[in-house]
């Protein structure tokens, strides 16, 4: 099965999808020197609008920028960094629905996802305590957080 990873960045999610058996192609607007799979530098929304290109994929995953909804947006303001990013979730969702493909959108708690499932690194035995929401057009079930057994988490910042 072939999966398109939109807004892929360095490929953390892509690695998980590849480990699950998908052939992964990543798309990001910025060059990703360390992306481990086939990479296309392009605007995710433009790629999503290309019906011929999209037709080759079984699943589309998208992780639109989260700065608009992140709990750290106030810190970014205090540091003089912009948080005036356009919320790409509605446009991305619209394109994913129009594609007719199975899709999943990942984003931070507080993002306007529809009926999301919340997952945490601790759910998978990882030392990362990082909650994320997932919206899909197929039924998803989550795993409970396991912060107690996790022990001291590894900090993930920026």
**Tens of pLDDT along 16-31?**
999 999 999 999 999 9
The answer to whether the CB of 88 falls within 8 A of the CB of 28 is no
The residues, any chain, with a CB within 8 Å of residue 49's CB and separated by 6 or more, are 95
- Residue 129: pLDDT band (50, 70, 90) is confident
Mean pLDDT of 118-122: 83
**Residues 6 or more apart from 65 whose CB is under 8 A from it?**
7, 85, 88
Residue 77 CB partners (closer than 8 Å, separation 6+): 83
Q: What pTM does this model have?
A: 0.85
Percent of the chain with pLDDT over 70: 84
CATH topology of domain 2-107: Rossmann fold (3.40.50)
Percent of the chain exceeding pLDDT 90 equals: 63
Mean pLDDT (whole number) for 82-108: 91
Confidence band for 154, pLDDT divided at 50, 70 and 90 = low
Q: What distance in Å separates the CA atoms of residue 62 and residue 4, rounded to the nearest whole number? A: 8
State the DSSP H helix or E strand holding residue 76, giving kind and residue range, or none if neither. helix 73-78
Average pLDDT over residues 42-59: 98
Rounded alpha-carbon distances, angstroms, from residue 86 to 2, 69, 75, 83, 146: 29, 11, 18, 9, 34
Q: What is the pLDDT of residue 48?
A: 97
């Amino acid at each position: 099965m072939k999966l398109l990873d939109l807004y892929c960045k360095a490929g953390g999610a892509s690695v998980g999808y590849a480990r699950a058996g998908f052939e992964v192609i990543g798309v990001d607007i910025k060059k990703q020197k360390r992306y481990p799979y086939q990479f296309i530098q392009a605007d995710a929304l433009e790629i999503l609008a290309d019906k011929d290109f999209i037709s080759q994929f079984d699943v589309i995953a998208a992780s639109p920028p989260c700065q608009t909804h992140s709990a750290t947006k106030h810190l970014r303001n205090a540091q003089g960094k912009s948080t005036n990013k356009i919320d790409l979730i509605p446009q991305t969702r619209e394109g994913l629905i129009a594609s007719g493909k199975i899709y999943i959108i990942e984003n931070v708690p507080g993002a306007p996802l529809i009926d999301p499932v919340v997952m945490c690194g601790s759910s998978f035995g990882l030392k990362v305590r990082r909650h994320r929401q997932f919206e899909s057009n197929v039924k998803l079930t989550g795993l409970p957080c396991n912060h107690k057994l996790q022990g001291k988490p590894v900090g993930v910042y920026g």
